[in-house]
Structure 1
Amino acid sequence: MKDRRKFLKLSAAMGMGALLPLQFCSPKKEEQGSQETLISPAEGTLASFGIQLWSVKENMFEDHIGTIKSLATYGYNQIEGFNIGKGIFWGMKNTEFKTLMDDNGLDFISSHTNTFEDLERQAAEAGEIGMKYLINPYVGPQKSMDDFKRLADDFNKQGEICKQNGIRFAYHNHGYTFEELEGQIPQEYLMDNTDPELVDFELDLYWVYSAGHDPLKWLEKYPNRFPLGHVKDKDGSVDRSEADGSTVIGTGILDFSTMLKNGRDNGMKYFIVEQERYVDISPMEAAEKNASYMKSLIL
């Protein structure tokens, strides 16, 4: 996707450091020991869902506090961040950002970030405020399967660092890991060669579909490996493989009622809205419509 590629290029110039080339109903939760019990206030509806802040990045750069307050009024109760320019805490201390979240009834679940740079500090700060995940959002297409083999090793090491700080590591897919390379599907290799105790995955449903795969088959083949999911719809007027073809959720062609139910049944706990393309609508207007769809979705 064009914007995400720009994000990766800009990150180096803005202090994050470029990523190295090798380098779904989730109801209210109650704790029972170390297990999470899922409780829905209205059976079949979503009670907890979030938004990836990249969806409203321009607004975040203009006024991150005001934007976050507005998102909370739309019905989101979880936030997933990204790291560019001002860091995942937007120039604030981690504890200050946590207070901002708490004051608005939001849970800062996770953030995309460069996990190949300064991971120990990032993991310590994230763990200190109770975040659940640090997520590598992009490594780019690789030249060979040997490169993906090195990545699997890197992810295991990064997962260990995160575990030591009380959080989890995850990798967010794009389409390239679902494209055959040297007779193999890289995503499959990464799933099979990373330690489930250390490495999780965030399944971007849009990208799996765009790459010509069925997200349901991946969820069923790898239960409990996709605890996070990106809920991003595909405009039916664009080609299936089109990278920049997202639209307001519920107006596209993806069957989220089936996908998210399947995800929930196979261990998905966090359902994160993402949209990157806007036609005759502003990002914040789209964010509000997406929240309304999520609240009304019946699984």
Structure 2
Amino acid sequence: MNNPRRKFIKMGALLGVSSAFMPLQFCSPAKKENEDLIVSPEEVKSKLQSFGIQLYSVKDEMAADAKATMTALAGFGYKQFEGFDGGKGVLWGMDPKEFKSLTTDLGVEMVASHANVFENLDAQAEAAAEAGLTYLICPWIGSQKTIDDYKSFADKFNEAGETLKSHGLKFAYHNHDYTFVSMDGTMPQDVLMENTDPALVDFEMDIYWVHVAGVDPAAYLAKYPGRFKLCHLKDAEADKGDGEERGVLFGSGEIPFTDIVKESIDLGMEYFIVEQERFVGTNPMEAAEKNAAYLMNSFEY
């Protein structure tokens, strides 16, 4: 609300849906139907239980000193980490017990890691489970030549999901823009969605890449409710004709991701992971701190 004065607002107008069907992140004390409320700007903020960061956002800092970097990120307010293999494995050279002890001491959950799920998956899964991860995520398959190629990857996803399930873990696929570009009248992402078993395969929506591909992230989430359990939060400046390099600090771009967050929770989204790969007028650690502050100012915790 831009008007600083208090306004009388109908409960239904404020929430838009029945509070009986709202997820816990949005719960508020029960009100009588049609009861008038006096609402301040602070009271209309939605609640978000926590958010995380993809450690690739600070990859150079992680390579230099993983423990110090993770400690600093926890101090910025991140309660979840998502990893990647930076050359020392997804646990950054630490054994699973040591890694688990570190995240526990920091009060942070290592939710997931991007990994090569097509090689040595059993060994990776065993270590990941011991370290306390929930997901191993396929971050890239590349643009395929045919729709049948995407169907083949859907089969591989199902197989990987079955393997991870046997270790008590979950599988997810993280998209880029290429699966949201139509091929012979078919969107490859649809092929992956419709040819994978929901009991074995979840998805991580990179909101930035969906937006850059010209697809509405919120509409696509609504098309497949319950399939996207994780997302990457990234902002993008308006297209200036320089291709894919559009990443900016939260709030300085054109993606309405705070609204997308609010809508996505009701569609099954569970994990909100900050990622930034382009830094203009800032640096990775400063950007991580500013993005965390932006989220803490945009939502109630």
TM-score range, shorter chain: 0.7 to 0.9
Equivalent runs, 1:35-114 vs 2, <5 Å: 38=25, 44-114=46-116
1:131 CA drift (Å): 1.1
What amino acid maps onto 2:293 in structure 1?
S
| Residue-by-residue CA offset, 1:3-38 (whole Å, 9 max, x unaligned) | xxxxxxxxxxxxxxxxxxxxxxxxxxxxxxxxx955
SS in 1 for 2:86: coil
Distance 1:37 1:44, change over 3 A: closer
Q: Distance in 2 between matches of 1:169 and 1:38?
A: 24
1:45/1:297 contact within 8 Å kept: no
| Residue-by-residue CA offset, 1:195-248 (whole Å, 9 max, x unaligned) | 000000000000001001000111101111001010000022634x83221111
1:47 CA drift (Å): 3.0
Aligned equivalent of 2:190: 188
| Residue-by-residue CA offset, 1:67-114 (whole Å, 9 max, x unaligned) | 000000000000000013101100010111111111111100000011
Decide which structure has the larger Cα Rg and report it: 2
Distance 1:237 1:178, change over 3 A: closer
1:130 CA drift (Å): 2.6
What amino acid maps onto 1:192 in structure 2?
E
Aligned equivalent of 2:252: 251
Q: Distance in 1 between matches of 2:167 and 2:91?
A: 18
Equivalent runs, 1:69-218 vs 2, <5 Å: 69-218=71-220
Aligned equivalent of 2:273: 272
Q: Where does structure 1 differ by over 2 angstroms across 4 or more consecutive aligned residues?
A: 36-43, 236-239
2:248/2:276 contact within 8 Å kept: yes
Q: Distance in 2 between matches of 1:129 and 1:262?
A: 32
Q: Let me know the Cα RMSD of the aligned residues.
A: 1.8
1:55/1:283 contact within 8 Å kept: yes
Q: Distance in 2 between matches of 1:250 and 1:70?
A: 22
Tell whether 2:296 aligns with 1:295: yes
SS in 1 for 2:160: helix
SS in 1 for 2:92: coil
1:297 CA drift (Å): 1.4
1:258 CA drift (Å): 1.1
1:181 CA drift (Å): 1.3
2:26/2:47 contact within 8 Å kept: no
SS in 1 for 2:87: coil
2:249/2:287 contact within 8 Å kept: yes
Equivalent runs, 1:229-248 vs 2, <5 Å: 229-236=231-238, 238-239=240-241, 242-248=243-249
| Residue-by-residue CA offset, 1:38-63 (whole Å, 9 max, x unaligned) | 58798613230000000000111111
What amino acid maps onto 1:270 in structure 2?
Y
SS in 2 for 1:227: strand
Which one has more relative contact order, counting CA pairs under 8 Å at least 6 apart? 1
Q: Distance in 2 between matches of 1:63 and 1:188?
A: 40
1:133/1:168 contact within 8 Å kept: yes
Q: Distance in 2 between matches of 1:191 and 1:237?
A: 28
TM-score normalised by the chain length of structure 1: 0.84
2:99/2:131 contact within 8 Å kept: no
Q: Distance in 1 between matches of 2:121 and 2:115?
A: 9
SS in 1 for 2:157: helix
1:45/1:295 contact within 8 Å kept: no
1:46/1:297 contact within 8 Å kept: no
| Aligned residues with identical type, % of pairs | 49
Distance 1:39 1:125, change over 3 A: farther
What amino acid maps onto 1:102 in structure 2?
T
1:132 CA drift (Å): 1.0
1:45/1:296 contact within 8 Å kept: no
2:25/2:48 contact within 8 Å kept: no
What amino acid maps onto 2:140 in structure 1?
Y
Which blocks of at least 5 consecutive residues in structure 2 are unaligned? 1-22, 29-42
Q: Distance in 2 between matches of 1:158 and 1:275?
A: 28
What amino acid maps onto 2:216 in structure 1?
D
1:168 CA drift (Å): 0.4
1:275 CA drift (Å): 0.2
